[in-house]
Amino acid sequence: MIRPTGIINFAVGEWGMVGAFGGFLLLSKFEWPYPVGMVAILAFMLIVGWATERVAVRPLVEKGAPLLAPILALLGMLVVFRESISLAFGPDPHQVPEPLGFEHQKTWMIAVTLGVFAAAWLFFEKTLWGKSFEAVSLNRKAAALVGINLSRVTAVSFAGGAGVAGLAGLLIAPNTSAHYLMGVPLAIQGFTALVIGGVGRVEGALLGGLLVAFAEQLTVRYAPIPSGYAQGVPLLVLMLFLLVRPSGLLRARA
Amino acid sequence: MRAIAGWLAAAVVLSAVAFFLSSYHNDVYRKLLLWVALALSYNFLFGISGQVAFSHFAFYGIGAYAVVIFLFQLGMPLPLAMLLAIAVCALIALAVAIPSTRLEGFYLALATLALAQLFIVVLNEGGTITGGTGGIVAYRLPAIFGVHISGPWYTAVIVMLVLATYAVLWRLDRSWFGRACRAVRDNPEAAAAMGVNVARTKVIAFTLTSVLAGIAGMVYAFVDNTVNPPIFGLENAFLLLFMVIIGGAGRHAGAVVGAVLLYLLPFVLSPLIGHHHALVFGVLMVAAILVQPRGLIGIYDALRHPRG
């Protein structure tokens, strides 16, 4: 969920939801083997992300609309995604299977997350493509001047973001089951992790995610408050971070 | 003098409508008026001051819950409860606004989104004070000077609320403050160079519109005589944003058109597509931003003053 484009995407949680429903459709209903289903979902999500960018972002960027316009358009897309899913699958939650059985689900989630993290880190730190993403996030004009294709970077980042978000949705779907309202809480958790860790750093997202999860679990276990309030802890942390240190724990490299 | 006559006429006509409606249609009409009031104040915050905040609907809820809690859980008299509810809204708004002025567009949206979600968590977990997930039910508006206001007369109170909201915002928009808000929205650096205190302008706009939302919430509390967490959920915060954008951000008439259209659309659409009107809203929203960023009111302007 890293946005070198400066456009923060409210639809990211809905991508996760689409991924989860993809899991339900392919794995539960059609009973495809897990690896095939996973690759199919990943490919589908890449297309969804690319299409989202085409429809809701590129026309606005080309028109020179203010930066806020695509963000709001994506908010509209959020509702479109969610309602399409609820129209197609109905409002009831659906079961998504675990690949390795219930007891290994956590291991599997950690493994895939680490895999995605490693891939993202390698991509951003070690490849020319990744460097060009960082250049765009630091200074769009200068990046365009040295010959980076801005609209291609934007398109790839949306496709990649949707791919990762779809995988995330697929991963947590066995625990939470696929539901058409799952997107917004997912997005808020993601944003919280991102803001705490530091926007625009791959390590930041991982660190932030871990911190949020720990904070929530520790308050459930040790803090003298009812467990329902624990849902509020990440939100409170998010607000505090935004107000006190919006750049996050790890600063983007200058 | 003519202006006052105009306001009075509007008040009389809008209130008189209520006396010709059945009790079901009265209920629809009241909620329509409340949405118009909310859209007007949200338009000032989002359209005129350029702050993307998702907390507006939460303040509506804070106002509603606050007045009910002060009245019935703490047994206060109505005027005191109303004043305290307004004070609560103002304090929370200030607490959010003052640090938030350092945040730009998207981060403000996130902080206020977190606030709105936090509000729902507090409502659900508030135990006997907020009534938990069931909310607070079975109360009624106390008598004012021995009179129980109910039926169409209460609709008249809501008409007063809408007109008062509009009057305040209209006056503000025409004053130096409205111009300062627009200047801060369009170019904060230039506004600061012209001697506008950017941070203070933002804080005042946020607090004022949030308090207006809170007052609308206080009035809402006695429409259904029940307050519960789902009413004040995030869905409606999005709906409010859609209303203002589809109607035309930055224009009072746009806010009114958007609120009326999006509130009444589900009644027309539900026989056709059931509960999936939100899909239509989403498509309209994306279409509005892509094709006509100034909303329906922009289309109206273009028809009235064709170019060339």
Say if CB B242 and CB B279 are below 8 A apart: no
pLDDT over threshold 70, residue B277: yes
What percentage of chain B exceeds 90 in pLDDT? Answer: 12
Question: Can you give the pLDDT at residue B90?
Answer: 93
Residues B215 and B246 in one domain: no
Q: Which domain holds residue B252?
A: 233-308
What percentage of chain A exceeds 70 in pLDDT? Answer: 56
pLDDT over threshold 90, residue A235: no
Residues A174 and A188 in one domain: no
End of a domain among B207, B231, B255? B231
Extract the tokens encoding B217: 């919430």
Residues A176 and A186 in one domain: no
**What are the b/e assignments for B260-295, b being 16+ CB within 10 Å?**
bbbbeebeebeeeeeebbbbbbbbbbbebbbeebbb
CB within 8 A of B22, min separation 6: which ones?
A: none
pLDDT over threshold 60, residue A92: yes
Q: Which domain holds residue A227?
A: 182-254
- For chain A, the domain total comes to 2
End of a domain among A156, A180, A204? A180
Contact: A235, B105; criterion CB under 8 Å: no
Contact: B103, A246; criterion CB under 8 Å: yes
A237 → chain B, closest CA residue: B114
End of a domain among A119, A154, A180? A180
The span from the CA of B90 to the CA of B206, in Å, is 10
Give the pLDDT mean for B236-258: 86
Contact: B286, A56; criterion CB under 8 Å: yes
Condensed to tens digits (0 to 9), the pLDDT of residues B134-153 reads 778 777 777 776 677 777 88
Residues B9 and B90 in one domain: yes
Q: Which residues of B touch A243 (CB under 8 A)?
A: 99-100, 102-103, 111
Residues B25 and B146 in one domain: yes
Residues A254 and A162 in one domain: no
The span from the CA of A235 to the CA of B113, in Å, is 9
Contact: A73, B286; criterion CB under 8 Å: yes
Give the pLDDT mean for B74-80: 85
The pTM for the full model equals 0.82
Residues A161 and A192 in one domain: no
End of a domain among A148, A180, A212? A180
Condensed to tens digits (0 to 9), the pLDDT of residues B186-232 reads 888 888 888 888 888 888 999 999 999 999 999 998 888 888 888 88
Mean pLDDT over each residue of chain A, to the nearest integer: 70
Contact: B278, A79; criterion CB under 8 Å: yes
Q: Which residues of A touch B242 (CB under 8 A)?
A: 76, 79
End of a domain among B231, B248, B281? B231
Residues A19 and A120 in one domain: yes
Question: Can you give the pLDDT at residue A254?
Answer: 40
How close A39 comes to chain B (CA, Å)? 29
Q: Which residues of B touch A52 (CB under 8 A)?
A: none
Residues B215 and B305 in one domain: no
Question: Can you give the pLDDT at residue B60?
Answer: 92
Lowest mean per-residue pLDDT among A3-12, A144-153, B97-106: A3-12
Residues B81 and B157 in one domain: yes
Question: Can you give the pLDDT at residue A95?
Answer: 67
Give the pLDDT mean for B63-74: 88
- Crossing angle for the helix pair B198-220 and B56-68, to the nearest 10 degrees: 50
Residues B203 and B238 in one domain: no
> Confidence band (pLDDT; 50, 70, 90) for A175?
low
Residues A175 and A196 in one domain: no
Residues B275 and B190 in one domain: no
Residue to mutate among A3, A9, A54, A80, with most B CBs inside 10 A, is: A80
Residues B69 and B205 in one domain: yes
B245, B276, B290: residue with CB nearest A87: B276
Residues A169 and A51 in one domain: yes
Question: Can you give the pLDDT at residue B86?
Answer: 93
Residue to mutate among B275, B289, B294, with most A CBs inside 10 A, is: B289
Extract the tokens encoding A32: 């495809």
Say if CB A93 and CB A181 are below 8 A apart: no
Residues A55 and A9 in one domain: yes
Residues A54 and A97 in one domain: yes
> Confidence band (pLDDT; 50, 70, 90) for A1?
very low
Say if CB A250 and CB A195 are below 8 A apart: no
Contact: A83, B282; criterion CB under 8 Å: yes
Residues B283 and B219 in one domain: no
Lowest mean per-residue pLDDT among A68-77, A169-178, B24-33: A169-178
pLDDT over threshold 70, residue B253: yes
Q: Which residues of A touch B54 (CB under 8 A)?
A: none
Residues B77 and B212 in one domain: yes
The span from the CA of A141 to the CA of A127, in Å, is 21
Extract the tokens encoding A137: 């996030």
Residue to mutate among B118, B265, B272, with most A CBs inside 10 A, is: B118
A232 → chain B, closest CA residue: B118
Residues B175 and B241 in one domain: no
B282 → chain A, closest CA residue: A76
Give the pLDDT mean for B116-144: 78
Alpha-carbon radius of gyration of chain B: 19
How close A3 comes to chain B (CA, Å)? 13
- Cβ neighbours around B25 below 10 Å, total: 12
Give the pLDDT mean for A166-187: 72
Residue type, A224: P
Residues A175 and A186 in one domain: no
Give the pLDDT mean for A28-55: 76
Contact: A184, B293; criterion CB under 8 Å: no
Give the pLDDT mean for A16-27: 75
The span from the CA of B225 to the CA of B240, in Å, is 22
The span from the CA of B277 to the CA of B280, in Å, is 5
Contact: B290, A238; criterion CB under 8 Å: no
Residues A14 and A95 in one domain: yes
Give the pLDDT mean for B124-132: 75
Residues A135 and A191 in one domain: no
pLDDT over threshold 70, residue A89: yes
Lowest mean per-residue pLDDT among A121-135, B78-92, B277-291: A121-135
CB within 8 A of B128, min separation 6: which ones?
A: B73
End of a domain among B185, B214, B231? B231
Q: Which residues of B touch A86 (CB under 8 A)?
A: 276
Residues B83 and B166 in one domain: yes
- For chain B, the domain total comes to 2
Question: Can you give the pLDDT at residue A29?
Answer: 65
